[in-house]
Amino acid sequence: MAAGSGARGGEPGGDGPDPALADFPARAPETRRWCFADQLGPHFLDHPRQPVLLIESRAVFSRRRFHRQKAHLILSALRHRAAELGDRAEFHRVGTYAEALDRLREPLSVCAPTSWRSRDFVLARPDLQVLAARGFVTTQPEFAAWAEGRGRRRLLMEDFYRDSRRRHDVLMNGAEPVGGRWNLDEENREPPPADGRIGVPEPWWPVEDDIDAEVRADLDRWAAEGLVSFVGDDGPRRFPATRAEALHRLADFLEHRLAAFGPHEDAMLAGDRWLAHSLLSPALNLGLLDPLEVVVATERSAGDRAAAGELLPLNSVEGFIRQVLGWRDYIWHMYWHLGRDFRYRNHLAAHAGVPEWLTDLDDAAVDAACLSDVLGDLRRDGWVHHIPRLMVLGNYALQRGIDPSAMADWFHESFVDGYEWVMVANVVGMSQHADGGVLATKPYASGGAYIDRMSDYCGGCRYDPRKRLGDDACPFTAGYWAFLDRTRDRLAGNHRMRRPLQGLDRLADLPAVVEQERLRGTEPP
């Protein structure tokens, strides 16, 4: 296997779409670099001794009701970085970013931040030199060259992923993919084992320190003073707050969990919320890891173990690399490519508000075992893996017609790895199909049968996944048919939805199901 040594000039990253960011050279190393709290790795600096500005803004946490553990992780990571840098860093704890910036009287540069709002802010300040974004594998010119390629009709993730594999020489055997296939996703959809065990050790966990204790005390004080409000449980911190911790988690995943990752990556187990997932998304999104180094380390680990006589399953290696090299970068670039107004798309006319029990992560209010269990995991940890996000939480919101933009905000606030750029495309486009099929060719809607097959939730649930009508009717099964009925006119032109929509006409009890679900609304199922 190649070691990812293909074309990649200079520092990692992708230019933003604004011409004002294009082709700015880095200033001399003595120019102080302002690093946002999601730009904490060394790849956001131009020189090992470059001076740094770090700003802790309370306004960031007062504008939204974040998960307590998300706030803790961000502040812990920011303060740990300040401690590591020592006298190289100016660290300001203030109300707003502008309050700190107005105090400085020296040249400053900043790598373009990761949301439209924050980019507007930095570009509006004449005292800041705004450089191209970093922290992603594919650059904006590379993405533009791919997107504007000859004959390209749709910006499909699979096409982007293959192009990126070629450019960076990842899992390639000359001009062909290792193993002869680009995508082994069909081998990664197995239901959970019957005994509920996938046979991997528990993940490595970081150990909290004095900085974490200080963060916890400050968050308690801010909340008591009414400056902020949080949702979810407090601690212990589950995710890396330093680069050393992030590298340790990566090494632990590659050694103990990668081999088992692929087959059951879509499975859900009530007794094992971690399965064989890497738990690296928060560290990547804080900028503690460069995504290409994760890809290279993964491929190198597989190669080294193969040389030692231990072949890792290719579907596990490829499946994980596709998440980092393919999907993560694709979502980043699509956030900018689709524009500011993409978050307000609403192709399926979904206007219901996010219910209070969901906003509060009140799993005790919910009887449906899958939804209650996933909400409980989210309340405790600020994280669940991609299938509970998509096929439980997102599926519920899609069926109930909850406003897509509001759901993007909810995911942003409730998940430790949630950011504007992550959630707008993922939720509005993929999960809620509010773009009419730009990111996904059909809605990710399913009845209880899918959840029953891919989890162990349904066995002890008061609802029956086979039933759509009655007191014990599964809210996902009934909700699926009510969703199709509500959206049939808007989905009529989607050829992938032809058969499901035809199925509506075979349901003699459809009017009763629709009325039942209308009365249920967004009450806790």
Contact 504, 485 (CB under 8 A): yes
Burial category of 144 from C-beta neighbours within 10 Å (exposed 0-12, middle 13-18, buried 19 and up): middle
Specify the pLDDT at position 23: 41
Rg (CA), the chain: 23
24-38, 71-85, 177-191, 339-353: which has the minimum mean pLDDT? Answer: 24-38
For the cut 60, the answer to whether the pLDDT of residue 522 exceeds it is yes
For residue range 319-376, what is the model confidence (pLDDT) as tens digits?
Answer: 999 999 999 999 999 999 999 999 999 999 999 999 999 999 999 999 999 999 999 9
CA 50 to chain centre: 30
For the cut 50, the answer to whether the pLDDT of residue 9 exceeds it is no
- Rounded average pLDDT over 147-169: 90
Specify the pLDDT at position 140: 86
Residue 134: name the closest of 301, 31, 333, 287 by CA.
287
For the cut 60, the answer to whether the pLDDT of residue 422 exceeds it is yes
Specify the pLDDT at position 28: 52
Q: Which SS3 state, helix, strand or coil, does residue 128 take?
A: strand
Pairing of strands 32-34, 52-57: parallel
Torsion angles phi and psi, residue 111, rounded to 5:
-75, 135
Specify the pLDDT at position 24: 42
Specify the pLDDT at position 473: 97
How many beta carbons lie within 10 A of that of residue 171, not counting itself? 23
- Rounded average pLDDT over 266-273: 94
Contact 377, 365 (CB under 8 A): no
Specify the pLDDT at position 408: 98
- Taking the C-alpha atoms of residue 268 and residue 461, their distance in angstroms, rounded to an integer, is 15
Q: At what angle do helices 314-321 and 291-307 cross, to 10 degrees?
A: 170
Q: Please report the domains of the chain, with CATH numbers, ordered by start residue.
A: 19-131 (3.40.50.620), 140-230+238-338 (1.25.40.80), 342-520 (1.10.579.10)
pLDDT band, residue 93 (cuts 50/70/90): very high
Specify the pLDDT at position 195: 84
pLDDT band, residue 3 (cuts 50/70/90): very low
For residue range 173-195, what is the model confidence (pLDDT) as tens digits?
Answer: 999 999 999 999 999 999 998 88
Q: Which residue has 């499975």 as its token pair?
A: 267
Structure pTM? Answer: 0.92
For the cut 50, the answer to whether the pLDDT of residue 20 exceeds it is no
1-10, 231-240, 319-328: which has the minimum mean pLDDT? Answer: 1-10
Helix/strand/coil (H/E/C) assignment for every residue in 95-110? CCHHHHHCCCCCCEEE
pLDDT band, residue 453 (cuts 50/70/90): very high
For the cut 80, the answer to whether the pLDDT of residue 227 exceeds it is yes
Straight-line distance from the first to the last Cα atom of the chain, in angstroms, rounded to the nearest whole number: 49
CA angle 207, 210, 216 (to 5 degrees): 90
Q: Which residues of 4-41 are buried (b: 16+ CB within 10 A; e: fewer)?
A: beeebeebbbbbbbeeebeeeebbeeebbbbbbbbbbb
For residue range 192-224, what is the model confidence (pLDDT) as tens digits?
Answer: 988 888 889 999 999 999 999 999 999 999 999
- Taking the C-alpha atoms of residue 469 and residue 478, their distance in angstroms, rounded to an integer, is 7
Mean pLDDT for the chain overall = 92
